[in-house]
Chain A
Amino acid sequence: METDTAFIIDVVFWIIAVCTIFSAIAVVFLRDVFRSALFLVVTFIGVAGMFLLLRAEFLAMVQILLYVGAIAVLILFAVVLTRDVEQGSPFNGYIAPALVISGLILAGVIFVIINTDWNMTSGEIGSEELTFAFSETNIVGNIAELLIKKYVLAFEAVSIVLLGAVIGALAIVRRR
């Protein structure tokens, strides 16, 4: 079964990729902010599908749990509190700075993509040895090791940023 699913995986990849990119474009170009937030959810789910295709089930589930279940709902909450949701996303005078920032981000992503060693494992997606290698790997354990041991400083820094955000929100509310 494992060897002849490569074609299906290809088809599924293209379906997910087109859906994700289409909805990502819709997020930017739709005027109705509520709808563009919903398309953002579709994008998140598409990314989760990509993780599934890469055999990272845990990451896919965390993606859905955090981004679709929590962050998207918070975004919708914020969207509902804005004025004039239906016409709320007009083009404005910030095109030039937006272009510069997104250009910088794009350059960074391209730099990372080019400099990553992609040939960690030989063999095609769906090949038997790769399936075996994946089934033997404890993905959750590996991620936990990396987070708690190697990247523990960055991990804790992120937590402190979140804590700061919470305290800041409380401070803003209290001042009134």
Chain B
Amino acid sequence: MISPIELSIIPVVAFIIPVVFVVVIGNDRQRLIRMSFSVSALASFISVVAGAMAVAGHSVEQVVLPLGLPTLPFHLRLDQLSGFFIFVVGLLSFFVSVYSVGYVSGLGAGKPVKRLIVFYNIFIAAMLMVCLADDALCFLVAWEVMAASSYFLVMFEDGRSENRRAAYLYMVMAHIGAVLILLSFGVMAGVTTGFEDFSCYTFDAMRAAKFPLKWATVAFLLSFFGFAAKAGVIPFHVWLPEAHPVAPSNVSALMSGVMLKTAIYGIVRITFDIIKVFPWWWGTMVLVLGLVSAVMGVLYALMQHDLKKLLAYHSVENIGIILIGIGLSMIFTSFHLPVMAALALIAGLYHTMNHAMFKGLLFMGAGAVLHATHERNMDEMGGLIHLMPWTSAFFLVGCISISALPPFNGFVSEWLTFQAFLLSPSLPIPMMKLLIPLGAALLALTGALAAACFVKVFGVIFLGNWRGHSQHVVTEAGWSMRAGMSLASLACLCLGVLPAIVINWMDAISESLLNARLVTTSGVYGWMWLTPVDPERASYSGPLVLIGIVAVCAVTYVLLHVKPGNISRVPVWDCGFKKLTPKMQYNAVSFSMPFRRIFGFLFDIKEQIRLTPQRQHPAFPENSQYYLRVRDRFWGWLYRPVIDRVVLLSRKAGMLQHGRIHVYLIYSFVTIIVLLALL
């Protein structure tokens, strides 16, 4: 019998096979795409199995590879936490790989498909390695391979300058994060065990160590902000809305769906598994940053009319929601309330998995729409539900899930987070008692705004009439793209309908990290009822809600359709105005106008109406144009000043560089003389 860790190493190696394919069958494009993405899908599926077994197996396995430094070989470890993340990464990679067969075939002939295949596979393998790594070196190597390969994926269409800019910004942010993480590992290794040999860089040594509070705080802050830069927590989110829209959609699905989650994995690993004991303000900080990211992320998303940019800002929002769960769990842990900590942690991790599924689904759907319409601006679309019925159905599933509505999965994890909030009055600190209701209210606001946002997205893209200027022939997505999206939709539904089973399975994580189980089920029909704390407090039954919704829909359908005359199609009432045009529909900009009025102070808004006066008299304008530009304030607040300073400093330093050899020689001459004179 093969053990889970061996099973989880197989896909990492298997992802190299498609790279070999590129070399061997490079020129037969269709065959190359089919074969390599099939192998990727298979490898991802193996890691799903390995991850599921690892979580269910209640065991911890370690392997030392004969790679790496002579004194610090690569240590791998598969426990419940890494098993869970491997499961999530593998599951979404499986769906996306199935989807990619059709998506990549449909890319234009001039696109560098070989490069896409190579880096796509390296990227997934690196994410799996990040979850498996059990020493600082292996972790960072995998982390950097992940960053570099995704950089090349973002640079996919490198002919356009905005793509190069986005990729560069991503690389800079990824490296700031990586440096912080590196420093954090250095602090943990150095402070606790000294620099006697390299073995202090293994996570095992760090786990065994007792951290003094001061250094633990330094290490935590460094690693948290390092991971936050990768996860896109506000204010480190600027790269997300730049990088996600320019990458190919299957890559955006993976980057947003699972790459951001590796940062969540890192935060959980370092706080709960390595540092273990921490003061309550750490959790509060994570909670507050999570709340800010959630609210600001969704507000920025509302303002977007570029579909993929909008989805990117929603990633910021959802990372915020995940961090709310994790922050609450940290607070409960520092007050020694393990069961509540387990509830909040499970809520955060469940949302991690859910977000991977529905955001992957939405990006796949966005890819299908973009592929069919060649348009990124939502205001140029409309009425696609008639042309792409399958895609719109799957996209609707994603929209409902992300808006946290039952019976899909987003509801379950946000509901669990609310349960964790509602338990918080038992905390002994007054400030927390104030913060917690505010947090719960903000989370509720986030959910409502997300729902509004996706009403906008679905309504503008799929309903109404075609708004665009281009008369492109729109066709339904191919079978493999539909297969990928339908699998992801199915996962969204299952995770929403059967949460009790899933949480029973996930309980092993909280047990291994916090020594506490969540009592999720009670009674004979335990699989039906999710009761996280106490049956008298709150419970949710996915299956019953599903049955209820299906029943209501069925009854409505029957009532409407049973008599043939009940539905008749007539022209839209034009209010007596004879010339209705598609321009008169609500579009993304007009739908979000109320939010722009209410939350306008958060954005950098430039709104203009330009009137072209008629020749006879200025009072009768011939033509009017509406111009709107909404920008992220953080760029001007935080990034622009820093960039300006850096440029200024480098200009100053650049003055040393004359390009004259004599001057350089004088520099070294003077240095030598000064050093000799001083020493």
**A in complex with B:** no
